Amino acid sequence: MTTISQTDTDRIKLYWAPGCSSCLRTKEFLIKQNIDFESINIVERPNALEELSANGIRSIPVLMIGDQHTLCQSFGDVLNFLNLPERFVPPLPPEELIAKIDIILSAAAHTTRQIPDAQFKTVFRDRQRTRAELAFHIFRIVEMGLGAAQHKGMAYEGFADTPPEHWSKDDIANWGLSVRDAVLAWWDCQEDRKLKYTIPTYYGNRELHDTIERVTWHAAQHTRQLVLMLEDGGTVAQRPLTAEHLRGLPVPEAVW
């Protein structure tokens, strides 16, 4: 049971977009909590971005109640906003998250190389992002997480970055593996492996451990989507992420 009254529930709006991992996770959470909400797909609602911009909001997913809002990148923020009790399991230890990043980016690189040339720069379903752009995005997420760990900040605009037009599948995959290697090299040099210190991100100052968890599951979810795209196009993925690979990560139940 939730602590939200019916009058409050009537005023809850969720702004989201297809293919957005945090959006899907937030929608699943609200549904499981039996919280009624207005679902606003910003792709289908032309004035949605104007509504967000009028409130100084530049990223999704966003929950709004009246003129109050919260970004949904941190579920602690969602719980506080909705006045719900804390009920999530702690994140995996940092060393396990780093090991999963190794597995996830290796799988993403392998899947990227499998995408047929004819499908590589085509969009999938109602998501305005090509397969090439999604593959790039997976590695960019982790690169941005590494930058945040190195106190370089994490700007939301970085998630909109796309690969150079001339990059091939191998270019993206090779670059992605270089991001993986940079993360592993950074981890090898860490003296404080608890990652309890605070870093700046576009959704506020956060403990690095929590940020690394978000980076890990975010990349994992998009890798699942890349596999879905591959197999929907008629190619069997040779190295999909397994249930064991995803164990302990707060990924949505659904892939898309």
CATH of the domain at 60: 3.40.30.10
- 62 with 100, same domain: the answer is no
The pTM of this model reads 0.86
- 99 with 40, same domain: the answer is no
CATH of the domain at 179: 1.20.120.450
CB atoms within 10 A of CB 146: 21
Q: Which single residue is written with the structure tokens 């100052």?
A: 205
Nearest to 146 by CA among 98, 81, 103: 98
Let me know if residue 255 belongs to a domain: no
DSSP letter assigned to residue 62: E
Let me know if residue 38 belongs to a domain: yes
- 116 with 170, same domain: the answer is yes
- 135 with 217, same domain: the answer is yes
pLDDT of residue 193: 93
| Separation CA 18–CA 41 (nearest Å) | 7
Structure-token pair, residue 225: 């989507």
**DSSP alpha helix (H) spans, the chain:** 6-9, 21-32, 48-54, 75-81, 94-114, 131-149, 169-188, 208-232, 243-246
3-state secondary structure of 71: strand
| Separation CA 111–CA 105 (nearest Å) | 10
pLDDT of residue 87: 65
Let me know if residue 204 belongs to a domain: yes
Q: How many domains does the chain have?
A: 2
- 98 with 156, same domain: the answer is yes
Strand order in the sheet with 62-65: 38-41, 12-16, 62-65, 68-71
CB atoms within 10 A of CB 12: 19
Let me know if residue 88 belongs to a domain: no
Let me know if residue 145 belongs to a domain: yes
- 52 with 110, same domain: the answer is no
- 193 with 142, same domain: the answer is yes
C-alpha 3: how far from its chain's center? 27
- 72 with 193, same domain: the answer is no
Let me know if residue 214 belongs to a domain: yes
- 173 with 215, same domain: the answer is yes
DSSP letter assigned to residue 22: H
The residue among 58, 81, 104 that closes a domain is: 81
Give per-residue pLDDT as tens, 185-240: 999 999 989 999 999 998 889 999 999 999 999 999 999 999 999 999 999 999 99
Q: What is the phi-psi region of residue 126: left when phi exceeds 0, alpha when psi lies from -120 to 50, beta otherwise?
A: alpha
- 188 with 225, same domain: the answer is yes
Low-confidence ranges of the chain (pLDDT < 50): 1-6, 8-9
Strand partners, 64: 13, 69
Burial of 176 (0-12, 13-18, 19+ CB in 10 A): buried
Let me know if residue 131 belongs to a domain: yes
- 32 with 124, same domain: the answer is no
The residue among 32, 57, 81 that closes a domain is: 81
- 65 with 157, same domain: the answer is no
The residue among 81, 107, 140 that closes a domain is: 81
Let me know if residue 162 belongs to a domain: yes
The residue segments making up the domain with residue 120 are 94-246
pLDDT of residue 220: 98
pLDDT of residue 7: 52
